[in-house]
Amino acid sequence: MVDSHAVPIDVAALASMLGGDKSLVDMILKTFRAEIKADIAALTELSHGNDPEPIRALAHRLKGTCSNAKAMPMSDAAKALQAAMAAGDMSAAQQLIAHLEACRNELEQYLSAQGA
C-alpha cells in the first residue's frame, strides 16, 4: 500500500477494501468520478451566494465520499472547505473550491495514467 497522501487516490487500498473485485472497483471509480464532478459544480454555484451552510453540508458529504474512496487529498481539501464554511468564511469559498477542482483534475490525470 502507498502513502495515501502521496497520490490523489489509493486505488490499491480501495481494491483491498472491496475484496480485490476489479469490476466493483471500476464501478465505484466511475460513480465516484461523476459524483465529485457534479458536487464541485454544485459547490461552485453555491459559492456565488451568501449562505455558507449549504456549502458546508455539501463539503461534509464530499469529504466522506472522498475518504471512503481513498482519495485523501480531496478529502482533506473538502475538510478545509467545510471548516471555513462552519466558521462562516464565505470569502474563502471560491479559492477552496478551486483547490478541490485542482485536486479532482490531478485525480483524473492519475487515474487515466493508471488506465482506470
Give pLDDT, residue 5.
Answer: 57
pLDDT score of 2 more than 50: no
Alpha-helical regions (H) of 9-92: 11-17, 22-46, 52-68, 72-86
Predicted confidence (pLDDT) per residue in 6-37, tens digit = 799 999 999 999 999 999 999 999 999 999 99
Give pLDDT, residue 87.
Answer: 98
pLDDT score of 4 more than 70: no
Give me 48's grid cell.
456565488
pTM over 0.95: no
Q: Return d(Cα 69, Cα 72) in angstroms, integer.
A: 8
pLDDT score of 3 more than 60: no
Task: Output Rg (C-alpha) for the chain, integer angstroms.
Answer: 14
Give residue 66's identity as a one-letter amino acid code: C
Cβ-Cβ contacts under 8 Å for 40 (sequence gap 6 or more): 62, 97, 100, 101, 104
Cβ-Cβ contacts under 8 Å for 59 (sequence gap 6 or more): 43, 78, 79, 81, 82, 85
pLDDT band for position 104 (50/70/90)? very high
